[in-house]
Amino acid sequence: MYLETTPTAHEDYKSEKKNRINAFKNDESFQALSNEWRTAALEKQYMHNFSWMGRPLIQLPMDMMAMQEIIWAVKPDLIIETGIAHGGSLIFSASMLTLLEVCGEIEKGQVLGIDIDIRPHNKEAISIHPLSSKITMLEGSSIDPDIIEKVHRFAAKGKKILVCLDSHHTHDHVLAELEAYAPLVSAGSYCVVLDTFIEDMPETYVWNERPWGKGNNPKTAIFEWLKSHPEFEIDSSLEHKLLITSAPSGFLYKKR
């Protein structure tokens, strides 16, 4: 996929890394261990332990490493995110776009975040952050027609767009988000759908007070959506590299 073809300084290192990742793909015991660890981490709320530049970031650190690699490879000037929570992911994206600007890779980067309920204290903390000038927030359901229209109007200013979906995790909601926002993704960029691992949790796992679960989650939405969208494909090399990820089958690369 895209990241696999990114040039590196040493061809021998590139080949060695590719072979190692391919070995992970076929290492069932290592994969099972990784999945077991992820289940334990979820139960212990491990992903709530981190922050990015002062704002809580409720993600697995491995996934943020993948996002860093994707952003550097794609070099988007607009990142659209559904789901804001405490704002750590928005700050992360804004910081990455700032680095791209400093390196002369893009002229001006912007981050657009959408959430149905942006808590006042989170909105305030994001608005006074040093990177706030790069962030725009919209409050409302990500699948509301008015919000979708506003996002599309905002996206008209983007030259290369990356999308990350991380809001409500039911099949129908994510499917509607894919229909609304994946078309905005530029060729050679990604639509990243998080929390697809819900489908891979143990049969005995119970999602207390959550409307999603096996058969009703982001991964099932992806598989249905991809049937009619051949311009996208799953970049499985990323999950094989990470092993521990909240987004198995969730890194969608736009070929054209």
Name the residue with tokens 């521990």: 244
Three-state DSSP state, 80: strand
Report pLDDT for 3: 66
Three-state DSSP state, 253: strand
CA–CA gap between residue 34 and residue 39 (Å, rounded): 9
Q: How many CB atoms lie within 10 A of CB 238?
A: 28
User: Residue 162 forms beta bridges with which residues?
Assistant: 79
- Residue 80 contacts residue 112 (beta carbons within 8 Å): yes
CA–CA gap between residue 64 and residue 205 (Å, rounded): 25
CA–CA gap between residue 143 and residue 175 (Å, rounded): 10
Name the residue with tokens 């489908």: 199
Report pLDDT for 117: 97
Report pLDDT for 11: 83
Report pLDDT for 14: 86
Q: What is the pLDDT along the chain (256 residues), one digit of tens a residue?
A: 556 555 555 788 888 988 999 999 999 999 999 999 999 999 999 999 999 999 999 999 999 999 999 999 999 999 999 999 999 999 999 999 999 999 999 999 999 999 999 999 999 999 999 999 999 999 999 999 999 999 999 999 999 999 999 999 999 999 999 999 999 999 999 999 999 999 999 988 989 889 999 999 999 999 999 999 999 999 999 999 999 999 999 999 999 8
> Whose CA is closest to 244, among 124, 10, 65?
65
Report pLDDT for 35: 95
Name the residue with tokens 């657009």: 112
Q: Does domain 3-254 have CATH number 3.40.50.150?
A: yes
Report pLDDT for 43: 94
Report pLDDT for 9: 57
> Whose CA is closest to 191, among 145, 157, 238?
238
> Whose CA is closest to 192, among 247, 113, 237?
247
Estimate to the nearest angstrom the gap between the alpha carbon of 124 and the chain centroid: 24
Report pLDDT for 6: 55
- Where do the structural domains in the chain lie, given as residue ranges? 3-254
> Whose CA is closest to 109, among 159, 164, 55?
159
CA–CA gap between residue 165 and residue 175 (Å, rounded): 10
Report pLDDT for 56: 98
Q: How many CB atoms lie within 10 A of CB 195?
A: 20
Stated pTM of the model: 0.94
Name the residue with tokens 């077991």: 36
First to last CA, the chain: 13
Beta-carbon contacts of residue 192 (< 8 Å; ≥ 6 apart): 67, 70, 162, 163, 164, 165, 247, 250, 251, 252
- H helices within 75-217, ranges in order? 88-102, 120-127, 145-155, 171-181
- Residue 92 contacts residue 64 (beta carbons within 8 Å): yes
